[in-house]
């Protein structure tokens, strides 16, 4: 008998996409399977729809929007599976997507997080995510992003620094050891922060190309969350995560690079008179200063109780510095035209 897998689908006012997602999950033959919807206080009738059309799905209703981190944490805590698949509501799954992921977990007890091949639901020959790597700049190298899903380098299993939060399978016992998503993050960079802790604890994070999930990408957050909030949370959470997880010399090095990049970001948007976006930089720094005592407590716990490997050893696997032109496309072109990516 195979291991019980719990699928946790987080929802916030995404009724239409949630219906599509759950319909695809209902066709998955893998057993035993537990389906859970965590609703972050939606007002669009999502909960009523699930209860009416999908009576076998367990529904958890939060009294307020707890964000990606808090909402998924509740679902994980309430789940019964040895393996937990965290899935965005703006996705559809291939009916056999679970088998390769479970096989990877079963084959190696140190593999504790596996990401499927994420392709765009509206352009299924284009990759949405293979996985990301740590870089000297502190910004992630999104390997395979918006590249052809048919290229041979993306058809092989690969150890990655972090999976994409839209779809990833976890080993519950590993989460019990390193903790869940940091709820102070609310949304953005929380999956990277968690994957970093898994690596520090001696575990592995992997990409599995035989598992396919179709992603509409940022349907709810893109529609309901403004540019200021998205940028502010992303900038602030990156600093906090690295302060928690990196050895101090490496954190200071990354912090110096982030200071340069953040300064450029501030100047660029100030010159364009987008002061709402330029102010995300000082706002993110101020938040981290205010939160410093709390962050240092988390850092102490991670460095003294979770860390088993030195950064230098981890960097051999999780750190990949892309060519400099990558950053131009990352900041100004959304990587659409970044070509000639090296094969990893």
pLDDT tens digits for range 25-60: 999 999 999 999 999 999 999 999 999 999 999 999
What pLDDT, on the 0 to 100 scale, is given for residue 342?
A: 85
Residues in the chain: 344
Phi, psi for 145 (deg, rounded to 5) = -60, 125
What pLDDT, on the 0 to 100 scale, is given for residue 282?
A: 97
Class of CATH domain 5-223:
alpha beta
- Does residue 224 carry a pLDDT above 70? no
What pLDDT, on the 0 to 100 scale, is given for residue 332?
A: 84
Please give the DSSP secondary-structure letter assigned to residue 153: G
- Does residue 265 carry a pLDDT above 90? yes
Confidence band for 217, pLDDT divided at 50, 70 and 90: confident
Query: Contact, 310 vs 121, CB < 8 A?
Result: no
**Whole-number Å distance between alpha carbons of 257 and 249:** 13
**Whole-number Å distance between alpha carbons of 268 and 145:** 25
What pLDDT, on the 0 to 100 scale, is given for residue 227?
A: 86
- For tokens 């939606």, what's the residue? 42
What pLDDT, on the 0 to 100 scale, is given for residue 219?
A: 54
**Whole-number Å distance between alpha carbons of 338 and 163:** 21
Tell me the average pLDDT across 289-294. Answer: 98
What pLDDT, on the 0 to 100 scale, is given for residue 334?
A: 78
Closest alpha carbon to 107 in 157, 178, 179, 163: 157
Closest alpha carbon to 101 in 77, 82, 75: 82
Cα of first residue to Cα of last residue in the chain, in angstroms, is 36
What pLDDT, on the 0 to 100 scale, is given for residue 74?
A: 98
What pLDDT, on the 0 to 100 scale, is given for residue 221?
A: 55
**Whole-number Å distance between alpha carbons of 194 and 179:** 8
- Does residue 319 carry a pLDDT above 70? yes
| pLDDT higher at 222 or 84 | 84
Residue-wise pLDDT tens digits, 157-195: 999 999 999 999 999 999 999 999 999 999 999 999 999
Phi, psi for 108 (deg, rounded to 5) = -155, 115
Residue ranges per domain, the chain?
5-223, 226-306
Q: What is the pTM of this model?
A: 0.96
Percent of the chain with pLDDT over 90: 91
Q: Which residues pair with 6 in a beta bridge?
A: 34, 84
**Whole-number Å distance between alpha carbons of 302 and 240:** 13
Reduced to 3 states (helix: H, G, I; strand: E, B; else coil), residue 84 is strand
Q: Number of helices (H) and strands (E), helices first, in the chain?
A: 14, 12
β strands within the chain, DSSP E = 5-11, 33-39, 58-61, 83-88, 91-93, 111-120, 123-129, 131-133, 141-143, 158-159, 167-171, 204-215
What pLDDT, on the 0 to 100 scale, is given for residue 1?
A: 77
């Amino acid at each position: 008998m195979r291991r019980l897998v719990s699928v946790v689908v987080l929802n916030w006012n995404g009724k239409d996409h949630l219906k599509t997602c759950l319909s695809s999950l209902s066709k998955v033959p893998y057993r035993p399977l537990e389906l859970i919807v965590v609703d972050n206080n939606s007002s669009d009738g999502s909960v009523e729809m699930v209860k009416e059309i999908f009576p076998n799905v367990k529904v958890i209703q939060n009294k307020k929007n707890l964000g990606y981190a808090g909402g998924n944490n509740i679902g994980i805590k309430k789940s019964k599976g040895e393996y937990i698949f965290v899935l965005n509501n703006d996705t559809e799954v291939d009916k056999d997507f679970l088998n390769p992921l479970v096989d990877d977990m079963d084959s190696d007890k140190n593999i504790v997080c596996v990401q499927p091949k994420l392709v765009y639901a509206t352009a299924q020959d284009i990759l949405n995510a293979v996985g990301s790597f740590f870089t000297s700049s502190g910004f992630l190298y999104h390997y395979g992003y918006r590249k052809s899903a048919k290229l041979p380098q993306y058809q092989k299993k690969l150890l990655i620094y972090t999976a994409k939060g839209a779809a990833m399978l976890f080993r519950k016992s590993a989460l019990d050891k390193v903790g869940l998503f940091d709820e102070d993050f609310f949304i953005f960079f929380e999956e990277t922060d968690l994957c970093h802790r898994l690596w520090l604890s001696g575990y592995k994070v992997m990409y599995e190309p035989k598992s396919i999930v179709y992603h509409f990408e940022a349907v709810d957050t893109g529609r309901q969350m403004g540019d200021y909030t998205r940028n502010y949370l992303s900038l602030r959470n990156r600093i906090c995560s690295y302060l928690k997880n990196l050895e101090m010399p490496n954190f200071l090095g990354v912090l110096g690079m982030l200071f340069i990049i953040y300064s450029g970001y501030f100047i660029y948007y100030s010159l364009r008179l987008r002061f709402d976006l330029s102010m995300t930089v000082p706002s993110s720094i101020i938040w981290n200063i205010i939160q410093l005592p709390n962050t240092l407590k988390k850092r102490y716990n991670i460095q003294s109780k979770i860390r088993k490997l030195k950064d230098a050893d981890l960097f051999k696997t999780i750190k990949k510095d892309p060519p400099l032109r990558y950053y131009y496309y990352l900041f100004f072109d959304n990587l659409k035209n970044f070509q000639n990516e090296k094969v990893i």
